[in-house]
Amino acid sequence: MSAAVHTHADENRLREQVVDFGKSLFERGLTAGSSGNLSVRLEDGWLLTPTNASLGRLDPARLSRLDWEGRLQDGDPPSKEAFLHRAMYQQRPGAGAIVHLHSTHSAAVSCMCGLNHDDCIPPLTPYFVMKIGRLPLLPYHRPGDPALGDAIGALAKKHAAVLLANHGPVVSGSSLEAAVYAAEELEETAKLFLMLRDVPVRPLDAQQIAELKTAFSLDI
């Protein structure tokens, strides 16, 4: 696994970041109850939020620390989506963090009929293109189904973010901040997509997307 080198101090800083971003996401209603999970890459493993924990009230000392085989090293029992996060890290060596939410508008889109499974939200805005790119839909699996690992692995090679059908988004980023910002952008674009359902829309065209790719060196 490629990764930036993390010292003990770095790990403590990352633990605090997970708690701070978790609280911020929860308080703004981007995931409710004990839904959602956050993870960050360490040099020799990764941190993940514990199962059944509210993102609004995480304890930095009790985050689950896992190795790359998925074995718990210390902390509380990990999220049931641990293998999903692990599969995404394995396919995306540049991913430093992963955010999974049940954010309302993204979850609403994930329940719609007639989505293009390769590209379920059109390129409505430049920030959606820049932060998410093309968003594939992963067919329904129950939360915690180990088959989700293989299924997401196949898509994560080419996509930084995936929408789980009838569930919610999984978004990776180079850092936790980047992954959270991308998940927020996805939620805002899902909201626009729903608002504009009965209105003729003009998404960005191929040339406008190509311009963004060049200007921002996007790998999408």
Ligand X SMILES: O=C(CO)COP(=O)(O)O
Residue positions annotated with a catalytic role: 127
- Closest CB to ligand X among residues 129, 148: 148
- Using the rule CB under 6 A, is 17 a contact of ligand X? no
In the bound state, the residue with its beta carbon closest to ligand X is 79
Asked whether position 103 contacts ligand X by CB under 6 A, the answer is no
Distant-in-sequence, close-in-space partners of 94: CB < 8 Å, separation ≥ 6: 2, 174
* CA angle, 162 then 48 then 8, to 5°: 130
| CA end-to-end distance (rounded Å), the chain | 22
User: Which helix (H) or strand (E) is 117 found in, with range?
Assistant: none
Taking every pair of C-alpha atoms in the chain, what is the biggest distance, in angstroms? 53
Q: Mask 138-177, x = binds ligand X (CB under 6 A)?
A: -----x----------------------------------
Tell me which of 6, 23, 80, 191 binds ligand X, using CB under 6 A.
80
* 213 is a contact residue toward ligand X (CB under 6 A): no
Is there binding between residue 122 and ligand X (CB under 6 A)?
no
If phi > 0 it is left, if psi is from -120 to 50 it is alpha, else beta; for residue 114 that is left
136, 162 Cβ separation under 8 angstroms: yes
Q: Looking at 8-16, 22-30, 79-87, 103-111, which segment touches ligand X (CB under 6 A)?
A: 79-87
Pairing of strands 137-138, 161-164: parallel
Q: Which is nearer to ligand X, 46 or 124 (CB)?
A: 46
Contact flag: residue 39 with ligand X (CB under 6 A): no
| DSSP assignments along 3-37, one per residue | -----HHHHHHHHHHHHHHHHHHHHTTSS-TT--E
Beta bridge partners of 173: 97
Judged by CB under 6 A, which of 3, 6, 34, 204 binds ligand X? 34
Sole binder of ligand X in the list 17, 35, 64, 103 (CB under 6 A): 35
Evaluate whether 183 touches 171 at the Cβ level (below 8 Å).
yes
Q: Identify the H or E element spanning 213.
A: helix 206-215
Q: Which is nearer to ligand X, 126 or 143 (CB)?
A: 143
The answer to the question of residue 79 lying near ligand X (CB under 6 A) is: yes
Does 51 interact with ligand X (rule: CB under 6 A)? yes
Amino acid at 39: S
Among 10, 27, 52, 71, indicate the residue that binds ligand X (CB under 6 A): 52
Contacting positions for ligand X (CB under 6 A)? 34-37, 51-52, 79-81, 100, 143
